[in-house]
């Protein structure tokens, strides 16, 4: 009797999921195992490029990597895992087909489980946040935010109401980590540039506010570079508020803990992330932060044939001086963990010894807009243009596939030769609106 190849189930198509599956499809022997990758989207998003996509420096389709094209030897399923029973080696999933058929979720059996669903935005019970907040974790949110910001300039230029104008030109960003600072810096650059094309707007009319609950921003680049980043942003007339929280944003008014009130039509929430909800729907051990307890070999602690890495995993940092330190949930660790994870899954299938993950953090780079940045890498501190150039060079080297590298480099080159694009395509978010209007009235209202 011919033995069926083992099934490796990869939950998540992000950094860890895609890179692990990519290495597995290269290293697996014929009929040794099959790899199934399940993710709600058919692509992997290279999140460090989201700020540049929002600013129009990179096309949105070049920020994502299609999973089926990159993983031709894997079975890619666009769907959502709703629960996992590792004791029975089964996962319950919902797909577009199960929704259309009305059959409900289906069960998938596996021999090896790789959990890499990533993280989701961490929100707080701030009044009005759910109604008016804008996230910045997906390419759809990045492009939606770009369109929204440009639409605010249109509103401000067209209105005669000073209160509406001021609210439209006030942009509040909450969270001083990578996502918040880079999104703010890129969009501020773009918006002030776009303002010159409006006859009744000046770049200085725009008000950008960064709200951070702690006493520093960009902690990953070190205290000195963090302070430099604050000075750089404030020199650009950006209001940076440290040790300040958002207390409320009801009725489109940002109420801060220092007593300030800012009527605004734009509130961007980037104040941290939390583990994906699927982790709580498993029978696997979690730590106090809701992440999977893992060994240095990236195995889920106490659960054979279950593996995890990236944002979902609490992996001990063997290079840290302080015992009990865990690897930071960032892309630098995720990409490297994926290599060890793929190797260990193969070793498990073949009965070979496992390798422990160990990587000493080399530092961080952050963009502060076009030609501006900060970096703290291998003990060296850079700022301004050199840091910005290092930021681009590093992430160009890390974006998956030669195809995406070439396209991003070509776009950067063209952007250096021509002016910025400042077109809002907000109607993309409601593509049937025009047709529904025509079907309902027979003519456009303006034609009457």
**36-48 pLDDT, tens per residue?**
999 999 999 998 8
pLDDT of residue 448: 39
Q: Which two tokens stand for residue 286?
A: 């979690």
Domains 6-120+274-350 and 129-271+364-417 share a fold: yes
Contacts of 413 (CB under 8 A, 6+ apart): none
* Helices vs. strands in the chain: H and E counts, helices first: 13, 24
Percent of the chain at pLDDT > 90 equals 62
**113-134 pLDDT, tens per residue?**
999 998 888 888 999 999 999 9
Contacts of 445 (CB under 8 A, 6+ apart): 437
pLDDT band at residue 447 using 50, 70 and 90 as cut-offs: very low
**247-288 pLDDT, tens per residue?**
999 999 999 999 999 999 999 999 878 889 999 999 999 998
CATH code of 6-120+274-350, in short, is 3.50.50.60
Overall pTM > 0.75: yes
Percent of the chain at pLDDT > 70 equals 97
pLDDT band at residue 102 using 50, 70 and 90 as cut-offs: confident
CATH code of 129-271+364-417, in short, is 3.50.50.100
Give me the residue spans of the domains in the chain.
6-120+274-350, 129-271+364-417
CA distance 81 to 66: 20
Q: Which two tokens stand for residue 258?
A: 């220092």
**136-174 pLDDT, tens per residue?**
999 999 999 999 999 999 999 999 999 999 999 999 999
pLDDT band at residue 175 using 50, 70 and 90 as cut-offs: very high
pLDDT of residue 56: 85
């Amino acid at each position: 009797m011919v033995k069926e190849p083992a099934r490796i189930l990869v939950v998540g198509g992000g950094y860890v999921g895609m890179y692990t599956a990519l290495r597995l499809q290269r290293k697996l022997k014929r009929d040794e195992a099959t790899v199934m990758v399940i993710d709600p989207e058919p692509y992997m998003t290279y999140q460090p490029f989201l700020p540049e996509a929002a600013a129009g420096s990179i096309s949105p389709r070049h920020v994502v990597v299609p999973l089926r094209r990159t993983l031709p030897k894997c079975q890619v399923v666009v769907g959502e895992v709703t629960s996992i029973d590792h004791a029975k080696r089964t996962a319950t999933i919902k797909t577009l087909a199960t929704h259309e058929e009305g059959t409900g979720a289906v069960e998938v059996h596996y021999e090896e489980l790789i959990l890499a669903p990533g993280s989701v935005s961490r929100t707080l019970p701030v009044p009005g946040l759910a109604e008016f907040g804008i996230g910045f974790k997906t390419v759809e949110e990045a492009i939606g935010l770009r369109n929204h910001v440009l639409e605010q300039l249109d509103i401000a230029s067209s209105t005669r109401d000073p209160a509406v104008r001021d609210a439209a030109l006030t942009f509040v960003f909450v969270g001083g980590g990578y996502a918040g600072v880079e999104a703010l810096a890129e969009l501020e650059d773009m918006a002030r540039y776009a303002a010159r094309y409006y006859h009744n707007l000046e770049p200085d009319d725009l008000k950008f506010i960064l709200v951070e609950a702690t006493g520093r921003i960009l902690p990953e680049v070190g205290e000195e570079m963090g302070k430099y980043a604050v000075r750089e942003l404030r020199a650009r007339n950006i209001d940076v508020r440290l040790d300040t929280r958002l207390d409320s944003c009801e009725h489109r008014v940002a109420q801060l803990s220092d007593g300030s009130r800012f009527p605004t039509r734009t509130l961007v929430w980037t104040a941290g992330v939390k583990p994906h909800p699927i982790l709580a729907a498993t029978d696997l051990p979690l730590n106090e932060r809701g992440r999977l307890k893992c060994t240095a070999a990236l195995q889920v602690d106490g659960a054979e044939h279950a593996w995890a890495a990236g944002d979902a995993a609490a992996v001990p940092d063997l290079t840290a001086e302080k015992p009990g330190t865990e690897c930071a949930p960032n892309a630098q660790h995720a990409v490297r963990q994926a290599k060890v994870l793929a190797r260990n899954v193969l070793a498990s299938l073949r009965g070979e010894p496992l390798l422990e993950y160990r990587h000493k953090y080399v530092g961080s780079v952050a963009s502060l807009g076009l030609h501006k940045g900060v970096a703290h890498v291998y003990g060296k501190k850079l700022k301004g243009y050199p840091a910005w150039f290092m930021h681009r060079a590093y992430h160009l080297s890390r974006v998956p596939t030669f195809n995406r590298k070439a396209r991003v480099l070509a776009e950067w080159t063209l952007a250096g030769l021509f002016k910025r694009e400042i077109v809002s395509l907000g109607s993309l978010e409601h593509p049937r609106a025009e047709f529904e209007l025509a079907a309902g009235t027979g003519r456009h209202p303006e034609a009457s």
